[in-house]
Amino acid sequence: MDTIKIKKKTTPFYKNKYILAAALFGLLVLLAVWAKQARSSVSVLRNDILVEQVQQGDLEVLIEGYGNLTSDKQQLITTLTRATVKEIVLKPGARVSADSVIVRLENPELIQEVENAEQELNQIQANLRQLKLTNQRERLNEAASLAEITALYEAATLKRQAEEKLVKQGIVSQLTFQESQLNEQQLKKRMAIATERNEQLRLVHQEAINIEQERVKQQQGQLNIARDRLARLEVKAGFDGVLQRLSVELGQSLDAGQEIALIGSVTDLIALIRVPQSQAQQIVVGQSAIIDTRRDKITGTVARIDPIVENNTVNIEIALPADLPASARPQLKVDGVIVADTLKNATYIKRPANVKANNIGKLYRLDQQQENAQLQAVTFGHQAGRFIQILSGAKAGEQFIVSDLSNLSKSTDALSIKS
């Protein structure tokens, strides 16, 4: 008897919903494990990173800036009149004294003006001499007239005195005597009037001479001004220093008041340092500063804080001592460091890349074996030059990576350090 075989129908495993769900869950677990391993598998070479150790102690809050030395005393030289640059004698950077000629200008009109003023002065002086001669002649005429009247008066007086004796003797009549008396009185009045005229004439002559002398004085002043303007076509420095800027060229036509040159002192120098606006609020007048000329370091004091902000920077004026090294000269580019404060017993580290003061940042902290680094949130305080204060998130002795790791993924919480 034949055996009948019955084939059992089986269901494929992928059609079983429980098996499928379990398979999907397992796949998700594997993916999560792989992702975690991928995040922790980022590695960097030790030679490619900068590692700094957290320190503790007193920390000077230093504000760094840049700028230049400039003269504390400066003099801007401008033209007094229209002129043309005839000759350039000195160029910027030259040491000058008060009488040093910088440029020579020319203006033919000034030469003509001086000549006209001289001729006018000569004419007025000639008029004054003529006036004095005329006055002298008039005074001589009046003096002669007064002398004549005086002589007549004296003769009349003698006649009256003689007749006065004779009239008593009856030799001279009373009428003749009275006529003599009247003549004497009239001559006396005429003599007084002539004397008064002489005095008035002297005063009139003196006033006329004073007026003419005043004209001479005024014309002499105009001539001096014209000569001074002509002399100033030879432009001089005015004081000892250095020619910092020359603003003209040979053959250039200049208008009145146009700048020619800038003279600055050599010994009296100050430093103008530009610092970031965000740090300028920590600076006060009187704080000490160090100016670096690349050859010497000069200790100064904050003298003035410019209230104007330009390009997010503030200009700080640093007063310097009178005795300066030879490397210090006007317009020299310098670096400046201002000591704004001293933080006592502070925790700090060399300033990491992309970290701002008074903010929270994240740094990779190395383990003791320096084989791995874990991302750590750190709260920063004041910036002090190359260093920055740590308020929380790090302890003295711990080591952090301070180089720029912005190229790493933000989700990378750990690093592997390879030699």
Mean pLDDT for the chain overall = 85
> What are the tens digits of pLDDT across the range 148-171?
888 888 888 888 888 777 877 777
For the segment 296-303, the average pLDDT, to the nearest whole number, is 93
Report residue 2's pLDDT band, with 50, 70 and 90 as the boundaries.
very low
* pLDDT at residue 6 tops 50: no
> What are the tens digits of pLDDT across the range 325-360?
888 888 889 999 998 888 889 999 998 988 888 899
pTM: 0.54
> What are the tens digits of pLDDT across the range 270-293?
999 999 888 888 899 999 999 999
For the segment 372-380, the average pLDDT, to the nearest whole number, is 90
Q: Which residue has the higher pLDDT, 204 or 19?
A: 204
Report residue 85's pLDDT band, with 50, 70 and 90 as the boundaries.
very high
For the segment 198-203, the average pLDDT, to the nearest whole number, is 88
3-state SS string for the chain: CCCCCCCCCCCCHHHCHHHHHHHHHHHHHHHHHHHHHHHCCCEEEHHHCCEEECEEEEEEEEEEEEEEEEECCEEEEECCCCEEEEEECCCCCCEECCCCEEEEEECHHHHHHHHHHHHHHHHHHHHHHHHHHHHHHHHHHHHHHHHHHHHHHHHHHHHHHHHHHHHHHCCCCHHHHHHHHHHHHHHHHHHHHHHHHHHHHHHHHHHHHHHHHHHHHHHHHHHHHHHHHHHCCEEECCCCEEEEEECCCCCCEECCCCEEEEEECCCCEEEEEEEEHHHHCCCCCCCEEEEECCCCEEEEEEEEEEEEEECCEEEEEEECCCCCCCCCCCCCEEEEEEEEEEEEEEEEEECCCCCCCCCEEEEEEECCCCCEEEEEEEEEEEEECCEEEEEECCCCCCEEECCCCCCCCCCCCEEEEEC
What percentage of residues in the chain have a pLDDT greater than 90? Answer: 40
Report residue 136's pLDDT band, with 50, 70 and 90 as the boundaries.
confident
pLDDT value of position 17: 61
* pLDDT at residue 411 tops 70: no
For the segment 262-274, the average pLDDT, to the nearest whole number, is 89
* pLDDT at residue 18 tops 80: no
> What are the tens digits of pLDDT across the range 26-69?
677 666 655 555 454 578 888 888 889 999 998 888 888 999 99
* pLDDT at residue 13 tops 60: no
For the segment 69-92, the average pLDDT, to the nearest whole number, is 90
